[in-house]
Chains A and B, each alone.
Chain A
Amino acid sequence: MSFVDYTKEIQVVEGKQPLRTIDDIISKPLETKPDKKFYIAISVTLTMLMFGVIGLGLTFWYGIGMWGNNNPVGWAYDIVNFVFWVGIGHAGTLISAILYLFRQKWRTGIARFAEGMTIFAVMTAGLFPLIHVGRPWLDGYLFPYPNQHSLWVNFTSPLLWDVFAVSTYLTVSLIFWYVGLIPDFASLRERTANKFKKITYSIFSLGWRFSNRHWQHYEMVYLILAGFATPLVLSVHTIVSFDFAVSILPGWHTTIFPPYFVAGAVFSGFAMVQNVLIFVRRIFNYEHIITLNTLEKMNKIMLVTGSMVGYAYAMEFFIAWYSGVQAEQFTFFNRALGPYAWAYWIMVTCNVVSPQLFWFKKIRRSIPIMFVVAVFVNVGMWFERFVIVVTSLSRDYLPSSWAYYTPTLVDAMILIGSFGFFFTWILLFTKALPVVSIAEVKAVVDGAQPSHKDH
């Protein structure tokens, strides 16, 4: 490779775009009618969603028995999907909040989209705790509300902590996202001639007039919200991991779970964002905004978090051996060699081995390869949750109650449905809101900031 000058910052947006072009290019999908490709895409996602609706309908009508869950394996696809989607929802806030606080300018191109994905992923995830219960019509019992029975929720249950953690995360992410959108709404308001759009944008832009004062307030609020959101990035998956770590089940009862889950979540979140962005930048011609450099940086994060996850897998084994607890030791042997060994090795291959390819710069910068690797990571991370949830439950303390879990068609339908739900929202998002922050991108375009060189 040629000589790289590390003293010079890599341009976030490639080429010296006129600011007007940026406005045009980003708002173009919002101002044109959806094309055929869009309709094909949304019909696919809606079909997937339909599967989920039918699967859920069957579940609501007949009961949880429609799933493969059985006596030792009380949780399976339901909670696997929940943790998987919460994990996916981790990249967005990490990119927009933590990277913002660290002044990582390369985040500007992808932050909006990542945040959107966060919200949709958390929405998808949030469905599962509500539908996994046997009597979903009584879901209200999960929330602490004053009632004449004087009944209160059980604050010692990690499942309840989940309710709080996920709902807080969703709320803060939504506010954060919306605040970021305000200047863009104003820009769109200025651009559109459509009356309906104008009114809508006017309402949502909250009277933004691009004044200096507005910008000052905006920057401050954004900073504060970023500060708010940062601990949440870490807390949500920590608390989700408590669902397992607080129990006494071998394979769940592990102190490494909080950092391990957070790393895994960031890992899978980035993989999903990278997957989707590869399409987005191509379809909407954002190659110069969501640059290859940005993708490479994401791949580096995947390499780091993937290695952390790999370390956690190894450490679990070590601690199991070191603890001297036979049940704990067996659980991990059983993962690697037992009836679910296939799932374990899929997980290891996808999560630990495949991201190691990112040590090579060529691979980090090759879009097809990075795409495949990220798909692998997503598959692997789903299997990680499957391995944790199902293999631990299927063989716990008493060998007499061991049983093998096999998913049913309805399980698969709901899994497909969750993807349908998620991607339907994504597709609607691309046509309803600017998928890249107009205001922020303009701020990082070469020449947007005053510099001494040109003067």
Chain B
Amino acid sequence: MNDSSKTNNVLWKSIEGLNNDPNIQKMKEDEFLDGVTEDFHPNQLSGISRRKFLALLSASAAITATACTDYQDKGEIIPYNKRPQEVLPGTENLYASTCNGCSLSCGILVKTREGRPIKIDGNPDHPINEGKICTKGQASILNLYDPERLKEPLFNNRKISWNDVDKNIIEVLESAVQKGKEIAILTGELTSPTTKKVFDKFSEKYPTTKIYSYSTINQSTRSKAWFECYGSYEFPSIKFDEANVILAIDSDFLVNEDSYLENMRLFTKRREVVGKTDFNRLYVAEGRMSATGMMADYRIRVSPDEQYNFVMSLVNELSKKGSNIEFDPVTKSMVSSFSINNFSKKIGKEKLNYLIDDLNKSRGKSIVYAGSTLSKEVHLAVNLLNEVLGNSNLYNYLNESVVILPQSSREDFDRLIDSMKNGNVDVLIHFGSDPVFYLPYDFEYQSSISRVKTVISLSESLNESCSLSHYVLPLNNQLECWGDSFVQTGVYGLQQPVISPIFNTRQKESILLTWISGSSSNFSSDNYHKFLIENFTQTVYTKLNSFSDAKRVWLSSLHDGVVTLKNVEKLHKKISQSWIPLLKLAKENSGLTVHLTESYFIGDGYFANNGWLQEVPHPITKVTWDNYAALSPLTAKKFNLKNDDIIEVSVSNSKIKIPVFVQPGLSDKTINIEYGYGRKVIGDVGKDIGINPLQLISKNHFETKNILTNASINKIDGTHKLVTTQEHHSLDDTFVKDFHKIRKIIQEGTVEKYQKDPKFLHEHKHELFSITNEHTYSGNKWAMAIDLNKCTSCAACVASCNVENNIPVVGKDQVGKGREMHWIRIDRYFSGSPEDPIASNQPMLCQHCDNAPCENVCPVNATNHSPDGLNQMVYNRCVGTRYCSNNCPYKVRRYNFFDFRDHFADEYYQNNLTALVNNPEVTVRSRGVMEKCTFCVQRIMDVRSTAINEGREISPNEVVTACQQACPTNAITFGDANNPDSNVAKLRNHNLTYHVLEELNIKPNVTYIAKLRNTHSEDNS
């Protein structure tokens, strides 16, 4: 033993210490030298001193007091002991993925904070949507946190484990194959080639499988028409930016149809007022009033059942003036039987002549585009018209539509239902689809389903089909899924999960893969992930001719969220005319025509449980939380109807009862009803909201299901209150007519006028002066410019703002009372006649006035001005007098009349799950507090602190507000008005810029760019 070596390592303070003196040892044990703690040694407590007694008394009192508080255990808060890779608390992570909200499969960028997705925006690298995402996509984040999602697999409404599910179903599938009974899979529109591959494998394993695809929103008529003309089901996209004249035939191509994000972007390229004004001219011929119709320079009222005759008459009229193609003799005689004269009476000669003239003048530089709800015949006629005009060079064959799985035909479904009735179908799998809700009623799908032995519904939340199923299997939300999409040639999108499944859910492909594997034990949570990589390597990687290895390419593609595939542009084929003899003059329908269109914000009903989307006001009528039968004022008068009356709409044998909304601008023959509403089996939010008009469709209408002719209506007793966010003032009420123009809220001009006199807007302006010394802004001064030429009223800004700023959903009753909380709204004004209204849209938000009238009236200084020009709200200081709101001329302040987060039954939005959707950077406001647009102050502060950290100035366009980021047409510009390099500063000096209510001299910082209408000069008056 070597003592000295040991002592070398010990630090000693004294000899005694080094020698382990027992006294020193004892001193070390007692923390305090004078023995304070000794008193409380349990062994010595018997003789209690006064001091001890008091100490014990106070200690026990303290313990009792703390133990009896009503502290609620709100769960554990667990810090990151080890920081997960890539997660830095307080900073956001962005993941590229693909949106599954509809079949457009846009590229998205999901913002996560501390591992929790909080916002969805467009992926800027995606060639189709280029960084933009629609209203539905924005708000779809709430679906992830929907407390009414399915959480566990269910068998006959009882919880069951996944293992048992897999075991039982594999058994059932195998026995079906053995017995030779059909296994039917019903899916919605398929956008993923890998899912298709899973189906193929499934059919391989279980050979009696048949796959049916059906979606209420589809392009089948366009696709079929294209096939008949050009021999291919895959139709090209349209180069709207190259068209000088666009004629939309009952098509909402700008706001709610086809690839509308792309269309909007291309269209507004030709609505640019900075630089050269090279405007296109938009004609819209429609029976309903669509958001695209509101954008039209000329709107022509044509009922959808007359569209075919209308287009053919145009073909006739224009081919007389020369045609780009040779007509066959049959075609020639066929075409000449259509006369435009019928329409010149209805539409007005002037408008029609303009249209024919413009189309004639811009041959090869115009496009006629039919809506996807129209029949195949209209699409055929439109294809012919485009050929006559030589517009085929506006077809973009680089991005053709891709059909992964064609829609099943009526015969397919007839056969399926027959076999179901005959007991030949053993297994029915609803692959994320809800056929009970959307299949035509007279297929009798609902009643035949009971004859199927095993019905399996794969769904995110309860739906009509689930309620009739034996097995209800919960699916992952799109943000918990792997996937890919291929909807346009050349663009391959990838989807990746950004959060692990919150509940005991699985991805639908993963479920099938387990069943394919033949054993429940083969399930692994990454089976589809692996399958996807494998398929990517086999199909996409090989096409890329990359020098890197497959894994690297996969990871980089995943990072980008999209792969652009090289694509050879097809040559435009000559149009076939063989189909023309089959056409005939459409019958004149004396009855009314029901036009069923997709709802603007809840899709085909998939988003019905999303409160944010239910509450976004309809772009035209501003109705929320309902659908309705829109009638023209004249028709309403004829049937003695007014808003909120209930009518019975009947088409052949089917009837629905639906409230009426009188909509100026509708064709007198058209009843426009939006579908997606009227869900019966769904969560609390979407249940029984609106009426399901799909009940009107019989299987005879399967092909042209959206246009139902010979409809009749009759008024029935009772009313149903439709709530709107904007009061409706009758257009012919002279009392309030054209106020938006008289008060210069909306200022407009024509392109011609602007080109002649760029300063026409400011002709009668006089200098406004102030009697006080104005505050000077020396540093940054935040400002916004909104280009009304580009606003299509799509409401993506509204949804984006809702998500970014934690805007509560208030519900129908509160919207009815005028208490909606949206910080940005889109005001819609009509001028002109009720038959032929001219719509003007205007996004309205807090104007952050320099001389804000709200600020000086607040008694507690809760709203005040920042040195960089923001009108701020201090929620903590606000007592809620509402004086500021009264004094705001724009009425953009929003008051929390209730605690809207617990206003719903069972504190709907206060559950642990939904609270996760909140943006952690934005305060959740309590009851009794005023709130309003902050210009996304959290984003400004974020940029500012980054700039300070990096020791630089904020660059001119660095701050991007949520609404600006979302705006698909870039109508919103934000930035530093004091920086001459910023876009907003340039727009503030534009000749078309004006302030709303300028004469109040409150100096708003939101400027509007006056809308120019590209009409003919005669209309200037």
Contacts and interface: CB of A to CB of B under 8 A. Distances in A.
Interface of A: 62-65, 68-75, 132-136, 138-139, 141-142, 151-154, 156-160, 163, 243, 246-249, 326-327, 330, 333, 337-338, 393, 396-404
Contacts of B879: 133-136, 138-139, 141-142
B878 interface: yes
A249 B817 CA distance: 22
Contacts of B927: 63, 134-135
B727 A403 contact: yes
Given A69-B882, A397-B997, A248 B818 contact: no
Contacts of A141: 860, 877, 879
B857 A246 contact: yes
Given A72-B818, A134-B895, A142 B739 contact: no
A397 B895 contact: no
Contact of B897 (A69, A133, A246, A393): A69
B896 interface: yes
B530 interface: no
Contact of A397 (B878, B881, B890, B930): B890
B886 A247 contact: yes
A202 B871 CA distance: 59
Interface string B560-602: 0000000000000000000000000000000000000000000
Interface class of chain B by DSSP: loop
B857 A247 contact: yes
A141 B891 CA distance: 25
Interface in B724-754: 726-727, 729, 735-736, 739-740, 742-743, 745
A400 B844 contact: yes
A178 B878 CA distance: 38
B207 interface: no
Pairs of residues from A and B, 3 with the lowest C-beta to C-beta distance, nearest first:
A134-B880, A134-B928, A65-B897
A435 to B, nearest CB: 37
Contacts of B151: none
A248 B859 contact: no
Contact of B859 (A69, A163, A246, A400): A163
A65 B819 contact: yes
A74 B857 contact: no
B891 A157 contact: no
Contacts of B715: none
Given A63-B896, A65-B897, A134-B895, A159 B883 contact: yes
B885 A71 contact: yes
Nearest to B860: A141
Nearest to A141: B860
B886 A74 contact: yes
Q: Give the size range of B's interface with the partner.
A: 35 or more
B878 A75 contact: no
Given A64-B897, A157-B858, A402 B817 contact: no
B648 interface: no
A71 B891 contact: yes
Nearest to A247: B887
Interface of B: 726-727, 729, 735-736, 739-740, 742-743, 745, 814, 817-820, 825, 827-829, 842, 844, 853, 856-861, 877-883, 885-887, 889-891, 894-899, 903, 926-930, 996-997, 1000, 1002
Contact of B891 (A62, A134, A333, A398): A398
Contact of A327 (B743, B877, B887, B1002): B743
B896 to A, nearest CB: 7
Contacts of A159: 857-859, 881, 883
A222 B858 CA distance: 38
Contacts, number: 169
A166 to B, nearest CB: 13
Contacts of A63: 896-899, 927-928
Contacts of B742: 326
A71 B829 contact: no
A399 B928 contact: no
B827 to A, nearest CB: 4
B898 A248 contact: no
A400 B818 CA distance: 12
Contacts of A142: 859-860, 879
A398 B890 contact: yes
A401 B860 contact: no
B860 A153 contact: yes
17 contacts: A63-B928, A64-B895, A65-B814, A65-B898, A71-B818, A71-B894, A134-B882, A135-B928, A142-B879, A153-B860, A246-B856, A246-B857, A249-B887, A330-B736, A397-B889, A398-B844, A400-B842
B883 A153 contact: no
A70 B819 contact: yes
A163 B742 CA distance: 39
A153 B882 contact: no
B889 A396 contact: yes
A51 to B, nearest CB: 21
Nearest to A163: B859
B745 A160 contact: no
A247 B727 CA distance: 24
A156 B860 contact: no
Given A74-B883, A247-B887, A151 B859 contact: no
A153 B879 CA distance: 12
A68 B880 CA distance: 16
Contacts of B928: 63-64, 133-135
Contacts of B856: 154, 156-157, 246
A147 B877 CA distance: 13
Contacts of B828: 400
A63 B927 CA distance: 7
A41 to B, nearest CB: 36
Given A154-B859, A160-B859, A401 B891 contact: yes
A398 B898 CA distance: 25
Contacts of B996: 398
Contacts of B727: 399, 402-404
A70 B817 contact: yes
Given A65-B897, A397-B745, A398-B827, 9 more contacts: A132-B881, A135-B929, A153-B861, A154-B860, A159-B859, A243-B883, A397-B1000, A398-B996, A399-B727
Which of A139, A153, A246, A398 lies at the interface centre, i.e. has the most chain B CB atoms within 10 A of its CB? Answer: A398
Contacts of A65: 814, 817, 819, 897-898, 903
A329 to B, nearest CB: 10
A403 B896 CA distance: 17
Given A151-B861, A163-B859, A403-B818, A71 B886 contact: no
Contact of B889 (A136, A398, A402, A404): A398
B743 A157 contact: no
Contacts of B859: 142, 153-154, 157, 159-160, 163
A157 B886 contact: no
A136 B880 CA distance: 8
B827 A400 contact: yes
A397 B743 contact: yes
A143 to B, nearest CB: 10
Contacts of A134: 878-882, 895-896, 927-930
B896 A248 contact: no
Nearest to B874: A151
B889 A248 contact: yes
Nearest to A158: B857
Contact of B819 (A71, A132, A156, A400): A71
A71 B891 CA distance: 7
B856 to A, nearest CB: 4
B216 to A, nearest CB: 33
A142 B842 CA distance: 37
Contacts of A71: 818-820, 885, 891, 894-895
Contacts of B898: 62-63, 65
B735 A248 contact: no
Most buried by B among A62, A139, A337, A400: A400
Contacts of B890: 397-398, 401
* Among A160, A248, A249, residue most surrounded by chain B Cβ atoms (within 10 Å): A248
Contacts of B887: 247-249
